[in-house]
Amino acid sequence: MPRLAFKMKLKPGAVAEYKKRHDELWPELAAELKAAGVSDYSIFLDEETLTLFAVQKLGEKNSAAALPDSPIVRKWWNHMAPLMETHPDHSPVTKPLKEVFHLD
């Protein structure tokens, strides 16, 4: 099962609200991610740098590349934009990370 890892950046003072919004993740967004083949999705925070590290598993037959076209994903991006670095369309600025080691 392929894994995808990337990093994002929070704005200063946004940690508590970012966590709160994810603790209250919209069920329709979770369903959209699962339907696209995304599973075992975690986001970690480096509190010193406000860097978020995300990792997710993708099903062999996934449609994750189409998620940016989803209305619910775009609504979530708009909801989260005040808290993190984003592009003009409110999609989060992400930087892919290269896997250098894995142990099952």
**Element of type H or E holding 40:** strand 38-46
| Angle CA 71–87–45, to nearest 5 | 90
Buried b (16+ CB within 10 A) or exposed e, 5-41: ebbbbbeeebeeebeeeeeeeeeebeebbeebbbeee
Place of tokens 């509190």: 47
Please tell me which residue in 22, 79, 90, 102 is annotated as part of the active site: 22
Establish whether 22 is a catalytic residue: yes
d(CA 48, CA 59): 33
Residues identified as active-site: 22
